[in-house]
Amino acid sequence: MAQATHLYAVAIGSNRRHVRYGRPSGVVEAAIARLDADFTLFDASPIILNKAVGGAGRDFANAVALVESRLEPCEMLGAVKTIEREFGRRPGRRWSARVLDLDLVAWDGHRYHSRTLTIPHPRLDEREFVLGPLAAIAPDWRIDGKKTPRQLAMRLGKRRPAR
C-alpha cells in the first residue's frame, strides 16, 4: 500500500545574516529552495519584511511555503528542524535572533497534537506575518477544518486598534 502524501504549510523566518545566503531575505529564499529539494514545493508566498516580536531584536523576513511530503507530522517536524540546524540555527533563548526558523503551521490532516507538536500552530491566529503570506497562496484552505487563512487574517485585522 502506498504511503499518503500530505500538504504542509511551513512558516519561514529569518532575522540574521548567513555567511552563504546573506541577508535574511536571502536566507528565506534559500530555505524555500531547500524545501523544494527535500520535498515537493507546491507553492511559496512572496517574502515580506516585518518588525521583530518580543526580544528577537532585528526585523524579520518571512514567507510561507506549501510542501507535499509522505512524512507524518512528527517526522516532518524532525526534517524541518534538521534544515534549521544545517542553516546554522543553534539552541538559545526563545525570542532571540535566528538565522532560520521553520514552523509547521498547518497540514491537510486538520488538527494534530503530540508532546512536541501542535498543528495548526497554537498562535497562528495571532501572527499576521504568517497569516498574510498563507492567505496569499491558500486563502480558502480550511486549515483546521473550519476557518480559512483569509478569515483568520480578517479577524486579526479587526482586533487591531486603528492608528
Catalytic residue ranges: 89, 98, 101, 103
Q: What ranges make up the beta strands (E) of the chain?
A: 6-14, 40-44, 48-50, 60-69, 101-107, 112-113, 118-119
Q: What ranges make up the beta strands (E) of 4-163?
A: 6-14, 40-44, 48-50, 60-69, 101-107, 112-113, 118-119
Best CA proximity match to 26, nearest among 53, 63, 54 = 63
| Cis peptide bond upstream of 120, omega within 30 | yes
CA distance 100 to 98: 5
Strand pairing category for 40-44 and 101-107: unpaired
